Amino acid sequence: MSEVFRGNFTQQEPIPEAGIEAALRVLRSGRLHRYNTVPGEVAETVLLEQEFAAYTGARYCLAVASGGYALGAALRAVGVKAGDPVLTNAFTLAPVPGSIAAVGALPVYVGVTEDLVIDLDDLATKAGQARVLLLSHMRGHICDMDRLMAICEAAGVTVIEDCAHTMGAAWRGIPSGRWGKIGCYSTQTYKHMNSGEGGLLISDDAEAMARAIMLSGSYMLYESHKAGPAPEVFARIRYETPNVSGRMDNLRAAILRPQLADLASQCARWNERYATVEMGLADTPGLRLIARPEAEAYVASSFQFLLLDWPTAAITDVIARCARRGVELKWFGAAEPVGFTSRYDSWDYAPHPPMPATDRVLAAILDMRLPLTFSLEDCAQIARIIRAEVSGVWQSA
């Protein structure tokens, strides 16, 4: 009898008790809106912004309604207008090109390498085509940020970072989100902190942050933003920046603050799980693991591997066999988008000229979450099942 995994790939841990208690305090107060405070009170949302700014080392922070909202606000805050081309990753998730489309701008896709990061040679070729790069650290893989920034600085390209999968991660000791002009995070249930929905935006740039705060729906209450720029910065932009409401509320902030306090230890727990799967899959014939460079301090809340240049039928066979044994693999090579997984050539609202090198990598990517509800023994079992099924299909091919 072959073993079957019984865990649930989408089950996150409960909200910490301290977060539940803080949420109840907010609910009992009735003051859920961030600008609804009594004299002397500092809103939970403001405290979260101050704490997240301190955590990342950023001067300014803004809490918003979702990660996708943060991306859209960041694009507007750096001046992206309807019709502008915006460089972005071909390998990412739909909210990234979606945020570009939402401001009426046009995604220009940059390819992905076998290490699952943005193809910097392709970026160097295309950098002249746009003023902004929306860089997605997709599935937590961080490219050579020194080289990326050099390419973008030389071409006059402003970088916005999508850190939905890199909260807590760094390149050469500098946190992800601190390289570009603005860093954007998601606190949606499947990310590194869970408030159901939510987002955070960080920057050292006073004017960009003032615009983001106005955009988020601050009315003229921006002076209560303790992690925001000085009032005179708003004076310059407050009449020309539209209100595109997308604030975070005190309930979500209250849930997130205790999670931020625990984030470093949670990140270490994700990485133990990743290392267990990685070890279990080492030297599996036909299976390629993703190299993790020395300079990359990653937070591996998910796991990817490649079945590079395998025939489609063999890959679908592996997926079906693993599924029968309880291991759900997501595949970026599927002809039709499924669940959360779609690809650049299914986003028909933007032109997508063929990218054969990228297609070869996408067709090979298998992906799974590693929620913290999995034990290390669960992770070892998952690796045994994948190893057995990949080896079986490989040998019969």
Q: How many Å apart are CA 252 and CA 44, to the nearest integer? A: 9
Which two tokens mark 163?
């850190």
Nearer to ligand PLP, 317 or 367 (CB): 367
In the complex, minimum distance from the CB of residue 347 to ligand PLP, in angstroms, rounded to a whole number: 13
Instruction: Give the residue from 87, 184, 180, 101 showing the smallest Cα distance to 133.
Output: 87
Nearer to ligand PLP, 90 or 393 (CB): 90
Nearer to ligand PLP, 61 or 96 (CB): 96
Residue nearest to ligand PLP (CB): 67
Nearer to ligand PLP, 31 or 141 (CB): 141
In the complex, minimum distance from the CB of residue 246 to ligand PLP, in angstroms, rounded to a whole number: 10
In the complex, minimum distance from the CB of residue 30 to ligand PLP, in angstroms, rounded to a whole number: 26
Nearer to ligand PLP, 115 or 207 (CB): 115
DSSP state of 39: T
Q: What number of H helices and E strands is found in the chain?
A: 12, 14
In the complex, minimum distance from the CB of residue 340 to ligand PLP, in angstroms, rounded to a whole number: 8
Q: How many Å apart are CA 310 and CA 329, to the nearest integer? A: 16
In the complex, minimum distance from the CB of residue 262 to ligand PLP, in angstroms, rounded to a whole number: 20
In the complex, minimum distance from the CB of residue 233 to ligand PLP, in angstroms, rounded to a whole number: 27
Phi and psi for 247 in degrees, rounded to 5? -70, 155
Q: Which residues contact 28 (CB under 8 A, 6 or more apart)?
A: none
Query: Is-contact 84 105, C-beta < 8 A?
Result: yes
Phi and psi for 197 in degrees, rounded to 5? -130, 155
Nearer to ligand PLP, 164 or 287 (CB): 164
Q: How many Å apart are CA 51 and CA 45, to the nearest integer? A: 10
Residue 361, classified by CB atoms within 10 Å of its CB into exposed (0-12), middle (13-18) or buried (19+), is buried
In the complex, minimum distance from the CB of residue 137 to ligand PLP, in angstroms, rounded to a whole number: 8
Nearer to ligand PLP, 138 or 315 (CB): 138
User: Contact positions toward ligand PLP, by CB under 6 A?
Assistant: 66-68, 92-93, 95-96, 136, 138, 162, 164-165, 186, 188, 199
Residue written as token pair 């993703």: 290
Query: Is-contact 304 290, C-beta < 8 A?
Result: yes
Q: How many Å apart are CA 27 and CA 21, to the nearest integer? A: 10
In the complex, minimum distance from the CB of residue 171 to ligand PLP, in angstroms, rounded to a whole number: 17
**101 - beta bridge partners?**
none
Buried b (16+ CB within 10 A) or exposed e, 255-288: bbbbbbeebeebbebbbebbebbbebbeebebbe
Nearer to ligand PLP, 188 or 218 (CB): 188
